[in-house]
């Protein structure tokens, strides 16, 4: 399964996710499919009227061990902001109940 999101700027979105190791495998004027070597993907559609501050879309990755998620987060945190910014950000890992 690949989550589908919207973007106001496909090139900015591709740049952000490329820094996290995703590669655009299909790309058009109004859509993009990104894939990561770890085996997960993301899909984006263009929505120029999207208000990012009002968008409540989330995606969660599930891992087998805590060490796996911390390792990936620490790697990604080297490439993108960990606090809210206009270019995007990633949050710190959180343990959740099953």
Q: In what order do the strands lie in the sheet with 31-36?
A: 4-7, 41-46, 31-36, 22-27
> Given this model, what pLDDT does residue 58 score?
73
Cβ neighbours around 17 below 10 Å, total: 20
Listed in sequence order, the residues at least 6 apart from 32 whose beta carbon sits closer than 8 Å to its beta carbon are: 7, 10, 13, 14, 24, 26, 43, 44
**Residue length of the chain:** 98
Q: Mean pLDDT of all residues in the chain?
A: 84
Q: Can you give the pTM of this predicted structure?
A: 0.71
- Which stretches in the chain have pLDDT values below 70? 1, 87, 97-98
> Given this model, what pLDDT does residue 71 score?
86
d(CA 89, CA 83): 6
pLDDT in tens, 86-98: 767 777 777 776 6
- What does DSSP say about strands 22-27 and 4-7: parallel, antiparallel, or unpaired? unpaired
């Amino acid at each position: 399964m690949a989550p589908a999101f919207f973007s106001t700027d496909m090139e900015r979105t591709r740049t952000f996710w490329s820094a996290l190791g995703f590669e655009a495998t299909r790309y058009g004027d109004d859509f993009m499919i990104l894939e990561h070597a770890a085996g997960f993907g993301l899909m984006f559609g263009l929505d120029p009227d999207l208000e990012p501050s009002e968008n409540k879309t989330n995606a969660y990755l599930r891992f087998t061990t805590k060490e796996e998620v911390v390792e990936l987060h620490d790697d990604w945190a080297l490439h993108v902001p960990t606090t809210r910014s206009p270019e995007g950000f990633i949050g710190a890992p959180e343990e959740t109940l099953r």
